[in-house]
A and B are shown apart, each in its own frame.
Chain A
Amino acid sequence: MFRPDTGSQFVNIFSMLLLVTTFAIVSQRRLSACVDLFALQSLFLGLIAALVAYLTGIHHIYVAALLTIVIKALIIPLILKKVIEHLNVKRELVLNINIPVSLLICGALVILAFSLTQPLISLGFLLTKDSLAVALAIILIGFFTMISRKKAVSQVIGFLVIENGIFLGAIAAAYGMPLIVELGILFDVLVASIITGIFTNRIQDAFDTIDVSQFKGKKE
């Protein structure tokens, strides 16, 4: 058994790894690598949840951790890989904002997240209280990814990163939401990614591109 502060440091290290993978997604041009990084991020998230479950002895978090790993680290990446394979696109060629500038903006977003959550930190629990700022940072960066990328698949990845940030926030806030809510959220995310998968395929068939910015010009 860890001492609480050692445990808290482990949680912090994992939260930081989550943030690092988010940055890696922003700096990555290859779509399949983005999906792999997302899977890795989800794995870390599942491990954090499991760690919190172990340290606090709240058993229902184990269920959430297991489901996170199965759904977000295995099933959703598989769906996305299938979509990418079907669409036959390997590289994100069009970015609205180039990568060095993106990374700078993301750095600024991290600082913003830490300053926004400062007054809330005292509310959190000892074990995970610093993770809330990281969670908000990941949400903001996920947003930024959705805005700065043009391909439908990268927008979906951005959305999933936001979801991961919220999950981390829920863990950080109060050792996870009630199990029934957690299950509902995971189910919704799963269905959402299936639907977006179908949608990107349809967009590909109809427009011969998944570059969302091409929409306007090609209307019938």
Chain B
Amino acid sequence: MTVSQMILILLISPLLAGILSLGFRTPKILHGINFVTIVILAAFQFLLTRELLKNGSFFVFHRFFAVDALSLFVLLIVTSVGFTSSIYAWSYLNRHLVQGNISSKRLSRYFFLFHMFMLTMILAILANNLGILWVAIEGTTLATTFLINFFKLKSSLEAGWKYLILCSVGIALALFGTVLMFLSSARALGESNAALEISELIRVAGQLDSHAIKLAFIFILIGYGSKIGWVPMHTWVPEAYAEAPAPVSAMLAGVLETVAFYAVLRVKTVVDAVVPSGFAGYLLILFGFLSFGVAALFILVQRDYKKLFAYSSIEHMGISAIGFGIGSFLGSFGALFHLFNHAISKSLAFFAAGNIHTLFGTREMNKVTGLAKRDPVTALAFLAAGLSLVGMPPFAMFVSEYSVVAALATQIYHTDTFHFGKFMTLIVSNEVRSLALVSLFLLVSLIVFGGFMFRVLGMLWGNPSISPPADRYFKVANIPLLMSIAVILFMGIVLPPSLKEVMNLAVTILVGGRHG
């Protein structure tokens, strides 16, 4: 089978599955279609990775799609969270169906939107063209709006509206940034598709106008940043994550953010090639620290456990931004690994939160006690997710967060001299900057650690606030929980060699600013 056929299958199978889902009402068939699709996606993602490790990166359909280590690594995140989320959705959705919260028609809508969501994300990852990338990311917004408003409550309606408006406007800014990119590249490459192709932009970087590229990057950063949920464009995040059904929250937090981040990274490789002074990196570090710090403060005062995890997402996107912003091999490696760990840990957290919500019927942390006695598996998952999200060893997030801090500490900074009047001179040296940034990072991490563990442990121990279960709905739902725990534990101890190779290749693309 040729590579272009594999790419076609990756795109066509979710499209077909989505259209097929609209035609059925039977839950078993709908779930069946979903499982088949997700297994196909995972299989072809695996085949493509093997192909990449053998022959290097490749273009298909006249450079319309580009497949390299970075895109395959992000695709791996999408398929793995998509897989666990599909298993979780099995019992989650069936339970709501039994309770009469949703009709079977709604279920088929859910799967249609879910597959469209997968399709737009895969398209965004594979596209070599900044315009198509934009179209696909806007497509993810449109596909997920109704998923957030799935239960049609007043509060979820509000969350959905906020999400739609903020992300659409944000993404309109990204489009303007893309137009500005096109403005500067059309001179070098002519008004054709090539002028928006990422690989071509990097090739002719020397001829691009740096002022236009800088302005374009600012627009793109703010635009896709509103989708990633960086402060101050984060206001839609807590409500949307809290209101969406648990498997959708897991997908939003685990994958959607990662894909939007991927878009920023792709543009960053172009900007780095045009403006080598680290302009893009500084902006990323700025947004990173802002998100990290502000989210930590909100974590401290949170009462709703789903919103707690939402703020934790903002925080982790901040940490990744810092890592990528530093731009060294170590920093980028840590940040990339962090994206993976965050996706798995956060989806685990939202699965556990979904179970707790179903059991206790409330999202308030104060009203949930004694989870360990009431439902040990969920409690274990909740604890593991909590420990992982604050970066405790032996979970994989410790490794990635540590890499980012280490990169922050070993980075060489400018030494600036400030003159105050004639006799006062202040020299801010490399060491001072490094120490200040690392201390700030560690201080904020400490705040997050305290705030998070206090909340999570409070929900675990004590006597259950509700009576023992009459029945057990969540048998199947425990499988993705245990799988995710195993992955984040395993990855914290050993990194599989083939995965490490893909990640190394991906980091080379980011650091070197070259395709392949």
The 8 A CB mask of B114-133 against A (1 = contact, 0 = none) is 00000000000000010110
Please give the distance in Å from B11's CB to the nearest CB on chain A: 14
Contact status of A123 and B161, CB under 8 A, knowing A191-B142, A206-B154: no
User: Among B207-215, B261-269, B363-371, B404-412, which stretch is in contact with chain A?
Assistant: B207-215
The 8 A CB mask of A120-147 against B (1 = contact, 0 = none) is 1001100000001000100100010010
Q: Which residues of A contact B165 (CB under 8 A)?
A: 146, 155, 159
Q: Which residues of B contact A215 (CB under 8 A)?
A: 158
The B104-148 residues at the A interface (CB cut-off 8 A) are: 129, 131-132, 134-135, 138-139, 141-142, 145-146
Q: Is the CB of B131 within 8 A of A181?
A: yes
Majority secondary structure of chain A interface residues (helix, strand, loop or mixed): helix
Across the interface, name the chain B residue whose C-beta is closest to A187: B135
Contact status of A159 and B132, CB under 8 A, knowing A177-B196, A178-B192: no
Q: For the complex, is B491 an interface residue (Cβ under 8 Å from A)?
A: no
Q: Is the CB of B212 within 8 A of A184?
A: no
Across the interface, name the chain B residue whose C-beta is closest to A183: B135
The count of residues in chain A whose C-beta lies closer than 8 Å to any C-beta of chain B is 46
Kindly state the separation between the CA atoms of A199 and B168 in the bound complex, as whole angstroms: 14
Please give the distance in Å from A218's CB to the nearest CB on chain B: 7
Q: For the complex, is B102 an interface residue (Cβ under 8 Å from A)?
A: no
Across the interface, name the chain B residue whose C-beta is closest to A178: B193
The B326-360 residues at the A interface (CB cut-off 8 A) are: none
Q: For the complex, is B180 an interface residue (Cβ under 8 Å from A)?
A: yes
Contact status of A170 and B182, CB under 8 A, knowing A146-B169, A184-B132: yes
Contact status of A178 and B191, CB under 8 A, knowing A163-B172, A169-B179, A196-B164: yes
Across the interface, name the chain B residue whose C-beta is closest to A156: B165
Q: For the complex, is A166 an interface residue (Cβ under 8 Å from B)?
A: yes
Within 8 Å by CB of A58, from B138, B191, B196, lies: B191
Please give the distance in Å from A183's CB to the nearest CB on chain B: 9
Please give the distance in Å from B196's CB to the nearest CB on chain A: 7
Within 8 Å by CB of A192, from B138, B195, B211, lies: B138
Q: For the complex, is B296 an interface residue (Cβ under 8 Å from A)?
A: no
The 8 A CB mask of A191-202 against B (1 = contact, 0 = none) is 110011001001
Within 8 Å by CB of A166, from B153, B175, B186, lies: B175
The 8 A CB mask of B182-198 against A (1 = contact, 0 = none) is 11101100011101100
The 8 A CB mask of B143-183 against A (1 = contact, 0 = none) is 00110010011110110110011001100100110011011
Q: For the complex, is A175 an interface residue (Cβ under 8 Å from B)?
A: yes
Q: Is the CB of A174 within 8 A of B169?
A: no
The B17-56 residues at the A interface (CB cut-off 8 A) are: none
The count of residues in chain B whose C-beta lies closer than 8 Å to any C-beta of chain A is 43
Q: Is the CB of B135 within 8 A of A184?
A: yes
Kindly state the separation between the CA atoms of A165 and B169 in the bound complex, as whole angstroms: 12
Q: Is the CB of B154 within 8 A of A124?
A: no
Across the interface, name the chain A residue whose C-beta is closest to B208: A123
Q: For the complex, is A64 an interface residue (Cβ under 8 Å from B)?
A: no
Kindly state the separation between the CA atoms of A159 and B169 in the bound complex, as whole angstroms: 7
Please give the distance in Å from A14's CB to the nearest CB on chain B: 18
Q: Is the CB of A176 within 8 A of B153?
A: no
Q: For the complex, is A162 an interface residue (Cβ under 8 Å from B)?
A: yes
Please give the distance in Å from A121's CB to the nearest CB on chain B: 10
Q: For the complex, is A119 an interface residue (Cβ under 8 Å from B)?
A: yes
Across the interface, name the chain B residue whose C-beta is closest to A158: B169
Q: Is the CB of A188 within 8 A of B139?
A: yes
Across the interface, name the chain B residue whose C-beta is closest to A171: B179
Across the interface, name the chain B residue whose C-beta is closest to A122: B209
Within 8 Å by CB of B184, from A123, A139, A175, A177, lies: A123
Q: Which residues of B contact A196 (CB under 8 A)?
A: 164
Across the interface, name the chain B residue whose C-beta is closest to A173: B183
Please give the distance in Å from A169's CB to the nearest CB on chain B: 5
Q: Which residues of B contact A (CB under 8 A)?
A: 129, 131-132, 134-135, 138-139, 141-142, 145-146, 149, 152-155, 157-158, 160-161, 164-165, 168-169, 172, 175-176, 179-180, 182-184, 186-187, 191-193, 195-196, 209, 211-212, 215
Q: Which residues of A contact B (CB under 8 A)?
A: 58, 116, 119-120, 123-124, 132, 136, 139, 143, 146, 152, 155, 159, 162-163, 165-166, 169-170, 173-178, 180-181, 184-185, 187-188, 191-192, 195-196, 199, 202-203, 206-207, 212, 215, 218-220
**Besides the known contacts A195-B145, A219-B154, 10 further A-B residue pairs in the complex with CB atoms under 8 A apart:** A120-B180, A120-B215, A165-B176, A166-B179, A169-B180, A174-B183, A181-B196, A184-B132, A212-B161, A219-B158
